[in-house]
Amino acid sequence: MDWMQIIAALALVMFIVVLFPRARHMIKNSPKGTSSDWMSFVIPIAAVVLFVMLLIKLV
Amino acid sequence: MNQNLSTVSQRSPSAIATNKVLRNTYMLLSLTLLFSGFTAAISMMMNMPPMTYLISIIGGMVIAMFVLPRFANSPAGIGIVFLITGLLGFGLGPILTMYASLPNGGNIIMLSFAGTGAIFMGLSAYVLTTRKDFSFLGGFLMVGFLLVLLAALANIFLQIPAMSLMISAVVIMIMSGFILHDTSRIIHGGETNYVLATIGLYMTIFNIFISLLQILGIMGNDD
């Protein structure tokens, strides 16, 4: 294991530690979505997945 | 009638302010992306070593997390955004040099670039036309992002190529979610600071580009 991997691992740990309280705050304060809200999220994300698959075919 | 007029007069300044935040965000985002391209080109010309990427990412993220929020409401915030995006662009240089040296490298870079642009513009247009409120995604996306960071941390030690591919695919989906969430926050008045809005959207574009490069790089060279 080289020093770059160790630094990358330490940086990731730092980001996780910093982001964890923010994530907890967002979970507590985010409004709940209805099934229609979730559908309006799933459809564009599915389109993105299909688009990435198209890009893979093109490369 | 009077009530209607007062409602219109109360809403108008807010709508104008929201449009101003959106316009300023897209203006600053365009400039920072151009600046990143410029610093990436300099980094490629200087033939910087691969560790530049790691150092730039860590430097950029530390400044974005700890320095930018203190200056986000002052003109210095714009300078700090250019510092962060310039640094991240500079870090991209060695990665782009590495991909450019692959047999199909030019094509992979161009497809990743065009694909990132298409994803960003498509999702932004979706939010701007439907005007849906995606604030409910906040917690879900943050948890997903933390799980991805944990998986990436584990893969530093495990070194599984399939897991790396899976992480890149999930990052694209999560960052796409963040584009919906952040754009929706701007148009619904949840984000009134265009400096913070710009850095949020820039990070999503940067992460989608890097992940697409990785996916297309792996899938385009497996024969």
Complex confidence, ipTM: 0.93
Q: Which of A1, A11, A16 sits opposite B58 (nearest CB)?
A: A11
Chain B interface disruption, residue of A39, A48, A50, most B CBs within 10 A? A48
Q: Cβ contacts of residue B113 below 8 Å, gap of 6+? A: B209
Distance CA B182, CA B135 (A): 8
- Mean of pLDDT values over B139-154: 95
Which letter does DSSP use for residue A32 in this model?
Answer: P
The per-residue pLDDT of chain B, averaged, comes to 91
Q: Which domain holds residue B207?
A: 2-219
Q: pLDDT digits over B168-222, tens only?
A: 999 999 999 999 999 999 999 889 999 999 999 999 999 999 999 999 999 887 5
Count up the domains in chain A and report the number. Answer: 1
Q: pLDDT digits over B75-88, tens only?
A: 999 999 999 999 99
Count up the domains in chain B and report the number. Answer: 1
Here the tokens at position A54 are: 């198209």
Q: Scanning every residue of chain A, which has its alpha carbon at the shortest distance from the alpha carbon of B223?
A: A59
Q: Which domain holds residue A10?
A: 3-58
Q: pLDDT digits over A5-29, tens only?
A: 899 999 999 999 999 998 898 888 8
The per-residue pLDDT of chain A, averaged, comes to 91
Q: Which of B61, B133, B173 sits opposite A48 (nearest CB)?
A: B173
